[in-house]
Structure 1
Amino acid sequence: MERTWRWFGKKDKITLAMLKEIGVQGIVTALHDIPNGNIWTKEKIHDLKTYIESYGMRWSVVESLPVCESIKYAGPDRDQLIENYKISLKNLSQEGIHTICYNFMPVLDWARTDLAHPNPNGTTNLYFSHAAFAYFDICILKRKDAEKSWNKEILEEVERLKNTMTPADDHKLVENIIVKTQGFVSGNIKEDDQHPVELFRQLLNLYKGSTKEQLRENMCYFLAAIMPTCNEYDMYMCMHPDDPPFQILGLPRIVTNDEDISWFLHAVDDPHNGLTFCAGSLSASVQNNVVDLARKYASRTHFVHLRSCHIFPNGDFTEASHLGGRADIIELARIFEKTNPNLPMRVDHGMTMLGDTERGYNAGYSFLGRMFAMGQVQGILATVDRELGLEYKQSGFYD
């Protein structure tokens, strides 16, 4: 697989020169300065593509060309927004960029309650606590009838948290769930917003009464509208699974498991309608056998996120080692190398380690932690390629 890295543009504290040194072949990025819904111009695309290529790498995958909330909840301007989206796809194709990772998650792009959860080895990782998230839902967000979304055991945990959480703890939880994990990705909530909880409530209200069936219908509408453009310009759309892969905040989640993936691939049955196989998102639910899903959907997978989650007995989960957890990355490497050894892959989230914390990286996107993970995965790929009789392609090294 092509070894890629998610990079957040010229302002990213991790530079392309650094990535070149550690053997990255392709860059996964986006035009983060363009507001959601606006057209990506050929000039802007060309400028960033040329900059990446000046460091000896290529712009492999767009992650992401955001799908606006109005498209997801079928707002009155969705047709115009879809037209803008199609023009951006055309402009990307004319610069030789043909793979788009995106998602159809309402409001929250991804969710964690702790961005620096301590690991036994002294590093930290992302963590999702059901009780902490329920506390946010019930006590901070104060969503109507939120208690009905949680079971008795979690509600008992929430009552205990009420006695220990301080205003500073509440603020940190808000930062973790709706600011630090969202602002640099979706643009819905920004780090300098003065009232993030109120803004978040307004976004949730846009989906009031929405059902899984309605969100599916809206996703089909979007996919059917853009597929002619994708076919004309050979653009591959790669749906990212929901993260976490279960319902939260009363919002429907429609890409969580085998049935969901099968449904959206067949609902708009076109080879350009494909999957981002995120092993981390899928492994965060006990219902998903990640290896079986990889075997089943390898032919419709156009981009791979290699990471793994560990689920605790109470259902909480954390990012695991890239050699551990539920995902079995070694077997996934075998499956995808057999299917398409040129498939772009990124290691996705990594540990925060050895001073990463002080360097101001985006949540989940440390440098040394991801570099460590990339080294592990490079070793896996070199071994698997030898097993399969494939040539392992080094980057910037003498044989």
Structure 2
Amino acid sequence: MRMVFRWFGEGNDTVSLDHIRQIPGVEGIVWALHDLPVGEEWPMERIEQIRDQASAYGLHIDVVESVNVHEDIKLGLPSRDRYIDNYIRTIEKLGKVGVKVICYNFMPVFDWARTDLHKLGPDGSTALFFEKSKIHGIDPLELVRTINQNSALTMPGWEPERLAHLTSLFDAYRNVSEEDLWDNLEYFLSKVIPAAEKNGIRMAIHPDDP
């Protein structure tokens, strides 16, 4: 097993690569390009920039979390093939820089949820935290307000421009059944897994997914 550490990017994460490399046993970072719109093909120069930043501190970039899945793919809309093509081209580029694992989410609307972005641990450190009792029955828009008020960095899947259209997203999913979602996931994986395998990459569904 090779230990890695989540990094949200230069100028976005308060934890620097210099700090990460000092953590005993950590050999690499888990990263993503959070500022790019979901569904957009990742530019090679941006990927290489992260690789070069990490390698300058002796860290690898083997794991990406996440290459987010566009809502049109999850909804099974006719436009999904265009976004899947972008996803495959991103996979091919990531394979060229040695990425071995791509995490992804396939949850409707929200890619992940937390109830505390700065949970204080016994040693004085902070971490993302989820407490089910606090989220049960909560108005999703209230959850969004809470996250936005307490986030000091750009969080993947919670980009402001995306959250601005939450109401229309909820409406879009109103008639999507659980079976529909599984069918759309199967269609997505049937396209991207062969591309991932061809490039030596394993697709790993994120543990936040139900």
Scaled by the length of structure 2, the TM-score of the pair is 0.84
Task: Determine whether 1:175 maps to 2:176.
Answer: no
Which residue is equivalent to 2:198?
Answer: 232
Q: C-alpha offsets along residues 94-151 of structure 1, whole Å, 9 cap, x if unaligned? A: 11112101111111122233445677898876242436541425xxx5xxxxxxxxxx
Task: Determine whether 1:136 maps to 2:144.
Answer: no
Tell me how far apart the structure 2 counterparts of residues 20 and 131 of structure 1 sit (CA, whole Å).
Answer: 35
Q: C-alpha offsets along residues 332-367 of structure 1, whole Å, 9 cap, x if unaligned? A: xxxxxxxxxxxxxxxxxxxxxxxxxxxxxxxxxxxx
Matches within 5 A, 1:328-343: none
Unaligned stretches of 5+ residues in structure 2: none
**Equivalent residue pairs, number:** 206
Which of the residues 191, 206, 213 maps onto 2:179? 213
- Counterpart contact for 1:114–1:127, Cα < 8 Å: yes
Tell me how far apart the structure 2 counterparts of residues 185 and 226 of structure 1 sit (CA, whole Å).
Answer: 21
% of aligned pairs identical?
36
Task: Determine whether 1:4 maps to 2:4.
Answer: yes
Task: Determine whether 1:27 maps to 2:16.
Answer: no
Three-state SS of the structure 2 residue aligned to 1:21 is: coil
Task: Determine whether 1:186 maps to 2:157.
Answer: yes
Tell me how far apart the structure 2 counterparts of residues 57 and 134 of structure 1 sit (CA, whole Å).
Answer: 42
* Aligned-partner residue type, residue 221 of structure 1: Y
**Cα distance, 1:120–1:226 mapped onto 2, change above 3 Å:** closer
Which residue is equivalent to 2:64?
Answer: 62
- Counterpart contact for 1:111–1:128, Cα < 8 Å: no
Q: 1:73: how far off?
A: 0.7
Tell me how far apart the structure 2 counterparts of residues 120 and 88 of structure 1 sit (CA, whole Å).
Answer: 40
**Cα distance, 1:202–1:119 mapped onto 2, change above 3 Å:** same
Q: C-alpha offsets along residues 11-60 of structure 1, whole Å, 9 cap, x if unaligned? A: 12111001111232111001222221111122221121011101011112
- Counterpart contact for 2:40–2:86, Cα < 8 Å: yes
**Cα distance, 1:22–1:217 mapped onto 2, change above 3 Å:** same
Tell me how far apart the structure 2 counterparts of residues 121 and 33 of structure 1 sit (CA, whole Å).
Answer: 32
Q: C-alpha offsets along residues 74-93 of structure 1, whole Å, 9 cap, x if unaligned? A: 12310000001100100111
- Counterpart contact for 1:42–1:95, Cα < 8 Å: no
* Aligned-partner residue type, residue 230 of structure 1: A
Which residue is equivalent to 1:319?
Answer: none
Three-state SS of the structure 2 residue aligned to 1:25 is: strand
- Counterpart contact for 2:32–2:64, Cα < 8 Å: yes
**Cα distance, 1:108–1:57 mapped onto 2, change above 3 Å:** same
Tell me how far apart the structure 1 counterparts of residues 95 and 120 of structure 2 sit (CA, whole Å).
Answer: 43
Tell me which structure has the larger Cα radius of gyration. Answer: 1
* Aligned-partner residue type, residue 52 of structure 2: T
**Cα distance, 1:49–1:41 mapped onto 2, change above 3 Å:** same
**Cα distance, 1:18–1:115 mapped onto 2, change above 3 Å:** closer
**Cα distance, 1:69–1:9 mapped onto 2, change above 3 Å:** same
Tell me how far apart the structure 2 counterparts of residues 231 and 123 of structure 1 sit (CA, whole Å).
Answer: 38
Which residue is equivalent to 1:13?
Answer: 14
Tell me how far apart the structure 1 counterparts of residues 199 and 124 of structure 2 sit (CA, whole Å).
Answer: 48
Q: Between the two structures, name the one with larger relative contact order (CA 8 Å, sep ≥ 6).
A: 2
CA-based RMSD of the aligned residues comes to: 2.8
Which residue is equivalent to 2:94?
Answer: 92
Tell me how far apart the structure 2 counterparts of residues 75 and 179 of structure 1 sit (CA, whole Å).
Answer: 33
**Cα distance, 1:20–1:46 mapped onto 2, change above 3 Å:** same
Three-state SS of the structure 2 residue aligned to 1:134 is: coil
Tell me how far apart the structure 2 counterparts of residues 174 and 77 of structure 1 sit (CA, whole Å).
Answer: 27
Which residue is equivalent to 1:107?
Answer: 109
* Aligned-partner residue type, residue 33 of structure 1: D
Matches within 5 A, 1:1-399: 1-11=1-11, 12-23=13-24, 24-115=26-117, 126-130=129-133, 133-136=136-139, 173-176=143-146, 184-187=155-158, 189-190=159-160, 199-241=165-207, 243=208, 256=210
Q: 1:227: how far off?
A: 2.3
Unaligned stretches of 5+ residues in structure 1: 142-169, 244-254, 257-399
**Cα distance, 1:178–1:72 mapped onto 2, change above 3 Å:** farther
* Aligned-partner residue type, residue 176 of structure 1: T
Tell me how far apart the structure 1 counterparts of residues 187 and 175 of structure 2 sit (CA, whole Å).
Answer: 19
Which residue is equivalent to 1:318?
Answer: none
